[in-house]
Structure 1
Amino acid sequence: MSTDRHLVPLRSTHSTPLVFAAGAAIGVLGGMIGLGGAEFRLPLLIGLFGFAALSAVILNKAMSLVVVLVALPARMAAVPASEVAAHWPVAANLLAGSLLGAWAGASWAVRMRSSTLYKVLAALMVLMAAALVITHTTTLGTLALPPVAQVPLGVVAGFGIGVVAAIMGVAGGELLIPTIVLLFGLGIKTAGSMSLLVSLPTMLVAFARYSRDGSFAVLGANRRFTLVMIAGSITGAVLGGLLLGVFSDLVLIPALAVILLVSAVKLARHT
């Protein structure tokens, strides 16, 4: 395994107010579009706080996991659990692929050179920007496929989403929600709740794989940093939820997509 990823010190020395403010800003962005904001957190962990690529991914994964755990009860209050449970075969179908994908993605991430991982992360951020624009500016229909086609496509899609989520340290809702709507024909609100249920075990599998690598020590070395940013993210997410609808998606979504694209360029050039 290459050790070049460890050139950046594990312990962050940034001030608590700055860390909280950064987390809050990410939470607001995510809250305004109904997502966790992990795709915006990753470039900040690398560019602003100076973490190496793999360390940033693991920190991002830990924070994403907590955000999903907090969001799940609130989401269940908005969409009845019985409605989500009625579509359990959809979750099982996607999990059949995403759990394998999460393990594979985490395995690949810990074996990559940092220079390669930066470029992979940059490419995936471009993918996230495209998914963000498509999901929020178009009306998603359904492919109306027969079950014999849905099942294998669900496994393949789940595998790909699991890989992306593990490598970026995100929950994967940006990709899961449109996949659930297009492939299985669920409504957007039900798909949002279903994506959280699929994300949770998928992230736990990625976490289990990352825990076998020495870079997992970044969590212990930065426990305070992580907790403060999580607190900021949750606070910001609440505020972002209150601001939902204040800004037109025609303005907000392109602006956020540009942020992701600019971040992708910076990551690709990172040394």
Structure 2
Amino acid sequence: MRTEESLDRLRPAHTAPAVFAAGASIGVLGGMIGLGGAEFRLPLLIGLFGFAALSAVILNKAMSLVVVLVALPARMAAVPAAEVAARWPVAANLLAGSLLGAWAGASWAVRMRSATLCKVLAVLMVLMAAALVLAHAATLHALDLSPWARIPTGIAAGFGIGVVAAIMGVAGGELLIPTIVLLFGQDIKTAGSLSLLVSLPTMLVAFARYSSDGSFAVLGANLRFATLMAAGSIAGAVLGGLLLGVFPDVVLIPALAVILLVSAYKLARHE
């Protein structure tokens, strides 16, 4: 059984401080670019902590959910809730696709062999690296689309993002933010808040789908592990936010993209 496999491969040397520190390091990386860092956490769960691919995705999804729940009220302090609420059609448009995508992505993930899922995750991490570079290195401008074209495009984009977020166990902000800027012409700050509003229900749908699979037992069996790493991720994200601007984007973004590409390579070769 996948759950038993992941528990058997867990190394006792990974103590509580080590798990917290790993989560904190991921949080710092994410915090410095204004994201949760779940895409960096996933290869650690598989390569360092020895979880099977699906178990790692489920744990990553649980921790991402906690990070988003903590980030949402903090984000509302920076961008007034009324300002975000006034843009509810944007979130509704994306959610029309992302909720279906999340269910479909989770359904596909639970049916994949572990080796196949690792290769799929590797491809998606390359996509995340490209999205990271695009969002920070390029100047994004809204596409000139008519409302009749924008609505179905938003649904299609939401579906794709929901699939990716469910399979990787991430919130999907790396893809949602540039999508909101390009399709709906929102500024980066507002797009960040809207992405959280889309991410939360999308993650809950994927979580509900994973809960019906036997591998979901890995969460109960490793609840202390997940709690420690999530706490480390939140603490690290706060520190990363304080370090925002210390490292110039011209250095930081390529370095983080390389980390994702190296992680993708290792995942593709993972047995």
* Fold-level similarity (TM above 0.5): yes
Separation (CA, whole Å) in 1 of partners of 2:8 and 2:112: 18
Q: Which moved more, 1:200-209 or 1:79-88?
A: 79-88
Task: Tell me, yes or no, if the aligned pair for 1:11 and 1:221 is still in contact at 8 Å.
Answer: no
CA contact (8 A) 1:11 1:218 kept: no
Residues 106-145 of structure 1: per-residue CA shift (max 9 Å, x gap): 0000000111100000000000000000001111101021
Any stretches of 5+ residues in structure 2 without a counterpart?
none
Q: Matches of residues 37-48 of structure 1 in structure 2 within 5 Å?
A: 37-48=37-48
Deviation at 1:10, TM superposition (A): 6.2
Aligned runs of 1:173-184 on 2, under 5 Å? 173-184=173-184
% identical aligned pairs: 83
Question: What is the 5 A alignment of 1:96-245?
Answer: 96-245=96-245
Please name the residue that 1:8 is paired with. 6
How far off is 1:8 after superposition?
A: 3.1
Match of 2:33 in 1: 33
Structure 1 residue 4, shift from structure 2 partner: 6.2
Distance 1:91 1:202, change over 3 A: same
Distance 2:4 2:132 in 1: 32
2:91 alignment partner, SS class = helix
Structure 1: runs of 5+ lacking an equivalent: none
TM-score between both structures, scaled by the size of structure 1 = 0.97
* Residue 78, structure 1, aligned to residue 78, structure 2: yes
- State the alpha-carbon separation in 2 of the partners of residues 178 and 46 from structure 1: 28
Q: Deviations over 1:207-260 (max 9, x none)?
A: 000000000001100011011101111110110000000000000000000000
* Residues 23-68 of structure 1 deviation map (CA, whole Å, 9 limit, x = unaligned): 0000000000000000000000000000000000000000000000
Which piece of structure 1 moves more, 11-20 or 115-124?
11-20
Local SS of the residue matching 1:9: helix
Name 1:49's counterpart in structure 2.
49
Structure 1 residues 150 and 29: CA distance shift in structure 2, 3 A? same
Q: CA deviation at 1:11?
A: 7.9
Looking at structure 1, the residues matched to 168 and 3 of structure 2 have their Cα atoms a distance apart, in angstroms, of: 15
- Give the Cα separation in 1 of the matches to 2:9 and 2:76: 36
Contact persistence 1:34–1:241 (CA under 8 A):
yes
Q: Deviations over 1:70-116 (max 9, x none)?
A: 00001000001111111100100000000000000000000001111
Structure 1 residue 9: deviation in Å? Answer: 2.2
The 5 Å alignment of 1:63-74 reads: 63-74=63-74
Number of residue pairs the alignment of both structures matches: 269
Deviation at 1:6, TM superposition (A): 5.2
Partners of 2:85 and 2:107 in 1: CA distance: 31
Return the alpha-carbon distance in structure 2 between the equivalents of residues 161 and 223 of structure 1: 27
Pair 1:55–1:4, CA change in 2 (3 A)? closer
- 2: CA distance between counterparts of 1:20 and 1:11? 19
Q: Secondary structure, in 3 states, of the residue corresponding to 1:212?
A: coil
* Matched residue type, 1:144: D
Question: Aligned partner of 1:141: which letter?
Answer: H
